[in-house]
Structure 1
Amino acid sequence: MQGVYWLLCVLGTMLPYASFIPWLAEHGLALPLMWQQIMASPLAVFAWADVLVSALVLLVFMRVESRRLGMAQAWWPVLGLFSVGVSLALPWFLLMRERHLAARKAQVH
């Protein structure tokens, strides 16, 4: 699964940025315009609400699961959450979790 999670990290970074970077190049960091476009339609609001709730759920999951498993440095994917979004942070955390579990299993055997 580690290879799958790596691939999802790459896709989860490239796909959102493929849309955001051209917008940023055209408009710069125009926060009022960004907010206006986020609120432009009920569908856009729906999508952003879904992303924000998913990000909150992911933060709670990462905190609880990393404590439960005793994962060190489990906060790294939070950087992905704030720099890209859930599409990077979730597979990054799952990759770290998979590695942690594999290392624990190797110590037992």
Structure 2
Amino acid sequence: MTKANFYIIMMVLGTVLPWLFFAPYFAQTGFDIGQYFQSLFMANGLAAGFSIDVLLCIALFWVWSFWDAREQGIRSWWLVLPACSFVGLSLGLPLYLYLRETQLNKAR
């Protein structure tokens, strides 16, 4: 299995598995962003701690991947922004690694 194929598999899993939980939530509450953030941070301390940890990791990933994309010449870096925003780091990270791997393969 190539790295690119592995990243594709992880993108699929990283999209499907979170949405198994997101879909019922949004079906029940609708797309109320205020309710969404309240659920992330106000449910309990564990949920708030986990949520802030993931959000900080996403912010760090965006900055690092932006810098790395400029160094590597990855023009479609911007795709990680909606990937992380609408699914999460579980999609954004393997997507960026896939883009990076394909760019490195072109350079070889």
TM normalised by structure 2 equals 0.90
Equivalent of residue 23 in structure 1, options 25, 32, 40: 25
Aligned residue among 1, 4, 7 for 1:5: 7
Q: State how many pairs are aligned.
A: 105
Could you tell me which runs of 5 or more consecutive residues in structure 1 were left unpaired when the two chains were aligned: none
Following superposition, the deviation at residue 74 of structure 1 comes to: 1.5
Match of 1:64 among 52, 67, 87: 67
Correspondence for 1:53: 56
Q: 1:73 maps to what in 2? A: 76
Deviation at 1:33, TM superposition (A): 3.3
The percent identity for this pair of structures is 31
> Is the alpha carbon distance of 1:32 and 1:82 closer, same or farther for their aligned partners in structure 2, counting shifts above 3 Å?
closer
Correspondent of 1:83 among 80, 83, 86? 86
Q: Please, what TM-score do these two structures have when normalized by structure 1? A: 0.89
The letter for the 2-side match of 1:61 is W
Name the amino acid aligned to 2:14. G
Please provide the CA RMSD for this pair: 1.2
The question of 1:98 aligning with 2:106 is answered: no
Counterpart-to-counterpart distance in 1, 2:93 and 2:60: 10
